[in-house]
Structure 1
Amino acid sequence: MGKITARFILGMAVIVLGLSGCALERPPAGGAVSIVTPDFFGIGEDIALQLAKNLRRPLGSEKRLIMTTMVNIDDLYQTSRFGRTLTESLATRMFNHGFGVVDVRKTSELLIRDDKGEFMLSRDAQLIAREHDAEAVVAGTYSLTPNSVIINVRMFDAGTQDVLSVAGLELQRSNNINDLLAASNGMSDAALSAYER
């Protein structure tokens, strides 16, 4: 009976070891993610992990962040359901990783752009950050290619505008992503409302 038990245990160990090699792995950070049905919480998780890992200096004990809506890189005043959905999933994941997420979507304007199309925090954003005791602002853009969506996210110091962390990801386009990008007039994006700025 001892030989049968030993063979059984050895056989089970081989099966368990063999099956553990079949575990799904996440794509490397910053790589292309091929998804038929986008898992926005998984995408948000990858971006949140990159932001936490790439943080240049530790934030205070509460790590309070203001999240802004992801915008189209070609027009920093344009977003889509894709940008809003991605922002919501990223906010959820940042919260899950211990960051304090401040919801200030009812403010009139958090970001402005200069003549070169670059992000700049407005003075209003700095005041809002102070009012809510937030240390940083998370802002991001997405770029559309025929086959993918390129996402870049930055975490800025709310007072100095120094970049504290960055994250990037390229997603393969799918029908679901295209639906989220589409506005009522086809594949164009929608203007940011005052609620989202």
Structure 2
Amino acid sequence: MRTLTKWLAASLMALMVLGATGCVGTQSKRPSDPEVDLIGQVQNAASALMKNARLNSGSPLLVATFADIDDLQQSSTLGRTLSEQFTSSLAARGVPVIEVKMRENLFVKERTGELILSRTLHSLVQSHDAQAVLLGTYALGGNNIYVNVRLVRTEDNIILAAHNFSLPMNRDLKAMLPRRR
């Protein structure tokens, strides 16, 4: 009887240890907040755009704020950050980029950013002889944000180059998006 009690106690202890080990293993397999190299992704996208675009080296570009694909009149901190990072990445490659925040005739909507209106685009393009505009959108998925970027020739709206990439959703990116109702 004593042997049976010891055997039951040992078996119970073994089950508890296995159960605890199973819980630890399950917790370690939970996906953590994914790392996102936003700057690296933008640099890669800018490089791909410039490799595929046929641009005049001396003529400048304009960069518009990236808009939410579901509402092209809206942007967010993410949209403004993407446009800022593309501007920096292009300028670092020696591409002349017009700083649009210094222009008065550009439509700036509070908390949205620089969204170029067609009637001001023509004036802005002419005054700076801009050959193209970098435009972008982003779409929110369940686990990813999908980013689309294009270089559009200003004289005829022909897309000179385009690139798409996705960013895994994490806390940093969520913090840059408007709260959804």
Alignment TM-score, normalising by the size of structure 1: 0.65
SS at the partner of 2:156?
A: coil
1:155 alignment partner in structure 2: 151
Larger Rg: 2
Q: Does 1:73 pair with 2:69?
A: yes
Q: Does 1:50 pair with 2:48?
A: yes
* TM-fit CA distance, 1:36: 3.2
What's the % identity of the aligned pairs? 31
* TM-fit CA distance, 1:109: 3.3
1:122 alignment partner in structure 2: 118
Output aligned runs, 1:180-195, within 5 Å: 180-181=176-177, 183=178, 186-187=179-180
- Tell me the number of residue pairs that the alignment of Structure 1 and Structure 2 aligns: 141
- Which residue identity does 2:64 align to in structure 1? T
1:176 alignment partner in structure 2: 172
1:23 alignment partner in structure 2: none
- Runs of 5+ consecutive residues of structure 2 not aligned to the other structure: 1-32, 109-115
Task: Identify which range, 97-106 or 70-79, moves more after superposition.
Answer: 97-106
1:94 alignment partner in structure 2: 90
* TM-fit CA distance, 1:121: 6.7
Deviation string, structure 1 residues 97-126 (Cα, Å, up to 9, x no partner) = 12111012343339xxxxxxxxx9714202
Instruction: Write the distance in 2 (CA, Å) between the matches of 1:63 and 1:147.
Output: 39
> Of the candidates 62, 71, 74, which is equivalent to residue 58 of structure 2?
62
Contact 1:37 1:176 in 2 (8 A): no
Contact 2:107 2:117 in 1 (8 A): no
- Runs of 5+ consecutive residues of structure 1 not aligned to the other structure: 1-34, 111-119, 189-197
* TM-fit CA distance, 1:37: 4.2
* TM-fit CA distance, 1:90: 0.9
- Which residue identity does 1:46 align to in structure 2? N
Q: Does 1:144 pair with 2:140?
A: yes
Contact 2:36 2:168 in 1 (8 A): no
SS at the partner of 2:134?
A: strand
Identify the structure with the greater strand proportion.
Answer: 1
When the two chains are superposed, the root-mean-square deviation of aligned CA atoms in Å is 2.2
Contact 2:49 2:161 in 1 (8 A): yes
Compared CA separation, residues 86 and 175, structure 1 to 2 (3 A):
same
Instruction: Write the distance in 1 (CA, Å) between the matches of 2:36 and 2:80.
Output: 14
* TM-fit CA distance, 1:88: 0.7
Deviation string, structure 1 residues 7-65 (Cα, Å, up to 9, x no partner) = xxxxxxxxxxxxxxxxxxxxxxxxxxxx834333212201101111221x2x2232411
Instruction: Write the distance in 2 (CA, Å) between the matches of 1:63 and 1:132.
Output: 8
Instruction: Write the distance in 1 (CA, Å) between the matches of 2:159 and 2:34.
Output: 33
